[in-house]
Amino acid sequence: MKILGIIPARGQSKGLPGKNIKLLADKPLIAYTIGAALESKFINRTIVSTDDFEIMDIAKNFGAEVPFLRPDYLALDTTTTVEVVLDLLANLKATEDYVPDYVCLLQCTSPLRNSADIDECITQCLNSDFDACYSISEAESSPYWMKIFDGQKLTSFIKTDTILRRQDLPKVYSLNGAIYFVKTSELLKYSSLHLPNATGYIMPRNRSVDIDTDIDFELAQILAKKGSL
């Protein structure tokens, strides 16, 4: 079975410039995700998709493949992740006749996710009838308590006649962005990473940090020092 690990890493970031190679503890941020992918017992190929020569060199130094640079038109703020994945798959098919059975998308902004998380997510999918498994974590705020504000009036996001106590609320989960494991045939069928027939792998919050801002990065530094890495 061919399982391809894909790590997207654009050169520019509005929220935190240069974040993908910013040093976390003693290594570039991207190195943690590359290491987790290489340590996985299921992923048998790890490719970084980037438009940046420096990221390419760092990725190769830490053991990932970078067979080609991403074109500029796929390195824009408006570029979606699935566009990057589809372009990479098309290039691999055209140049190597390589088509993986599954794609495991790993965002390098989730450095606290480890190889055990990856393998458990993959195992849950392979041992089921689902076409995908996504890493999730329990949401901090319930949508039952969320409001829509138009500048004047507050209205409930979810209409209910009952005011629920915290202990009565159903558990809800958010995609934490760390792992997207999808069957390639279904990904190509829907042109989407978000498949209808999917399950979830629950990760603890301390490994679910998604780095987008300086505050997120500082939190990851603190958790790294406490042994989450």
Please report, for the domain that includes residue 67, its CATH number. Answer: 3.90.550.10
For the cut 60, the answer to whether the pLDDT of residue 229 exceeds it is: no
161 in a structural domain: no
96 in a structural domain: yes
Question: Domain containing 53: what range?
Answer: 3-137+173-225
151 in a structural domain: no
- What is the structure's pLDDT at 228? 56
Domains contained in the chain, number: 1
For residues 2-28, average pLDDT: 89
The structure's pTM equals: 0.90
For the cut 70, the answer to whether the pLDDT of residue 197 exceeds it is: yes
Task: Give all strands of the β-sheet with 102-106 in edge-to-edge order.
Answer: 45-49, 3-8, 102-106, 173-183, 132-138, 198-202
pLDDT digits over 217-227, tens only? 899 988 887 76
For the cut 70, the answer to whether the pLDDT of residue 162 exceeds it is: no
For residues 83-111, average pLDDT: 97
- What is the structure's pLDDT at 158? 78
- The dihedrals phi and psi of 47, each to the nearest 5 degrees, come to -125, 135
- What is the structure's pLDDT at 159? 74
